[in-house]
Structure 1
């Protein structure tokens, strides 16, 4: 038996990869499983995006290798989108790099900036990929706590007391996943100042800013952000195109160019048709966002009802594709979600998937039809 690399000994298979196998097995045994654990949008993409993809199939050169930096029209569309929705001015030529989904960007950014032994500040709770990628690159995850009594924002006093001498990257994610918290303006000014003070690259992972949120923000709209910040963004959540795998990293030319050096050695460019569809999605009117969110509001109201039926509490001001709910005292997240799966055939995510500070919480997805969520409520009641 050939030994795998040591780096894999530090990384487990992704929780949802494992759990979805269990869910699939239960379904194969006839269990009527309702999946409220995954944030995979179930609604249709913009029709014009689908039509652009279809039409592109007959374009000359559509099936050839594409530029590692994406076609110019895609970068232009991203620049226009950032200007229209965030009031951020980006150079389409030098400050935008299309990605095959923003998840790819977590690895590429890490590879571009981390050496073995460097440290990375990672939110707890937070997106598990930040930790697994850090470990795969033999860097050190250093967790900073997000707590409900601080509105799931970093404690800057606690951060300043930490040993930051080896920290190279800090991951932030607002609107936050899994908690749905929106960060105030002051937070962005403070985090930029923190990055400048300690020479840390601040990366804001920003795929949820248009979901049930009337005031989308980009970290790049704040003063001096480009000095120490990058931002990841995606068309997956906002335009129901998760399977298309199209996103972008934006920011300072030198930082973006460093990521390009990694990316250009890892893939051979994004399929032309995907880019043409993404361009059309990014030009969607205000009506698109209003229509999308009107559906999600109704679903979220039902998920709140489901959470209440399970004796959980939640924050009505949270945004995004999930409801982050607090369990009654003394209950453990994984035991609770396993019990709900066993007794009601409903899969929800335990908060501990996202870190130790997720203990005592669960996460519900709103990526299911109203009728399905009503069925879940009926089962519990």
Structure 2
């Protein structure tokens, strides 16, 4: 037997990778499973985006290796997007780096800045990839708690009581996934001040700004944020392009140069046609977001009905493409409850525990499912017995 690397002892297969195989097996057995677990937009990109990638196929440059930094027009598109939507000025030549999805950016940033033994502040609950990547590069995850009583925001007094001497990176994610907390400019100001005080690289993972959110924000709106902060963003949720794998990291040129050193050794540039489609997407106006949000509002209203039927409570003012719902007190295991829903009601949703220990007692519904399917789930649920599944 060839032994695997020791680093694999620190990570497990991504929950959705494993669970979706189980769901797929049930579907292959004829089970009418409805999947409300994963945030993969089911809506299409705008027709102009599809037309742009189609037209790009006939360009002589389309099938060649591309620049590691992406087309200048794409970087200009990202910079324009930040100026138009966040009033943030970015130098497209030095402060913008396109990514094949923001998820790879988590790895690139970690490889660029973390040494073995460095510590990383990671939200609990939070995106599981932050922990996995930190472990893979030999750094140490240090979880900081988010609680509903504090609007799912960090407790800065608790953070200040910790030994932060080895902390190199802090991950934040607002609008927040999985909780839907919107965050605020005031919170960003506190985060930037905290990071500067302790010389911690602050990274805001920001793919949900435009989904059911009337006040899109960037951490780079804070004065002086570029000195200490980076921001990841993505076209996946904003423009229904999750399978295209288009994202970006933005920030000051020194940080971007360090990440490029990693990225340029990991891939050979983004496919030309995808870049052209992304350029078209970035030119869409606010009416695009408004039309998308009409659809998501209707879906969310139905998911609220479903959460009510299951005896859950939730924040009706949360943002993003999920509904984070607190289970009834008598349900002691979110994962057991999710499995009962899967096997007894043919419904798959995400247990809060996959996002951290503070997710126990919660479940997460995705809005990436058409209204008729949500209505079908509602018809399946026996309101009188649902709580006791």
Q: TM-score normalised by the shorter chain: which range applies?
A: over 0.9
Residue aligned with 2:77, SS: helix
Query: CA deviation digits over 1:26-55, x for unaligned, max 9?
Result: 001110000000000000101101000000
Residue 32 (structure 1) aligns with = 32
The answer to whether 1:245 aligns with 2:240 is no
Query: CA deviation digits over 1:173-227, x for unaligned, max 9?
Result: 0000000001122111100000000000000000000000011000001111000
**1:146 & 1:136 partners in 2: Cα distance?**
24
Residue 387 (structure 2) aligns with = none
CA apart distance, 1:281: 0.3
Residue 274 (structure 1) aligns with = 274
**1:183 & 1:218 partners in 2: Cα distance?**
10
Residue aligned with 2:301, SS: helix
Residue aligned with 2:51, SS: helix
Alignment of 1:156-167 (within 5 A): 156-167=156-167
RMSD: 0.5
Residue 225 (structure 1) aligns with = 225
Query: CA deviation digits over 1:99-150, x for unaligned, max 9?
Result: 0000000000000000000000000000000000000011000000000000
**1:338 & 1:225 partners in 2: Cα distance?**
43
Q: Which runs of 5+ in 1 are unaligned?
A: none
Residue 344 (structure 2) aligns with = 343
Residue 263 (structure 1) aligns with = 263
The answer to whether 1:358 aligns with 2:359 is yes
Question: TM-score, normalised to structure 1's length?
Answer: 1.00
The answer to whether 1:380 aligns with 2:381 is yes
Verify the 8 A CA contact 2:96 2:249 in the aligned structure 1.
yes
Residue 93 (structure 1) aligns with = 93
Residue aligned with 1:233, SS: strand
CA apart distance, 1:343: 1.0
Query: CA deviation digits over 1:274-315, x for unaligned, max 9?
Result: 000000001101111110000000000000001111111100
Residue aligned with 1:203, SS: strand
Q: Which runs of 5+ in 2 are unaligned?
A: 383-389
Alignment of 1:1-381 (within 5 A): 1-331=1-331, 332-381=333-382
Runs of 4+ in 1 over 3 A off after TM superposition: none
CA apart distance, 1:330: 3.4
CA apart distance, 1:93: 0.3
Residue aligned with 1:213, SS: coil
**1:102 & 1:121 partners in 2: Cα distance?**
19
CA apart distance, 1:326: 0.1
Q: Which moved more, 1:172-181 or 1:333-342?
A: 333-342
Residue aligned with 1:261, SS: helix
**1:168 & 1:260 partners in 2: Cα distance?**
19
CA apart distance, 1:3: 0.3
Verify the 8 A CA contact 2:108 2:259 in the aligned structure 1.
yes
Verify the 8 A CA contact 2:185 2:219 in the aligned structure 1.
no
Residue aligned with 2:298, SS: helix
Verify the 8 A CA contact 2:313 2:327 in the aligned structure 1.
yes
Residue aligned with 1:236, SS: coil
Verify the 8 A CA contact 2:335 2:353 in the aligned structure 1.
yes
Residue aligned with 1:202, SS: strand
Verify the 8 A CA contact 2:102 2:246 in the aligned structure 1.
yes
**2:170 & 2:195 partners in 1: Cα distance?**
8
Residue aligned with 2:48, SS: helix
Question: TM-score, normalised to structure 2's length?
Answer: 0.97
Aligned residues: 381
**1:330 & 1:356 partners in 2: Cα distance?**
18
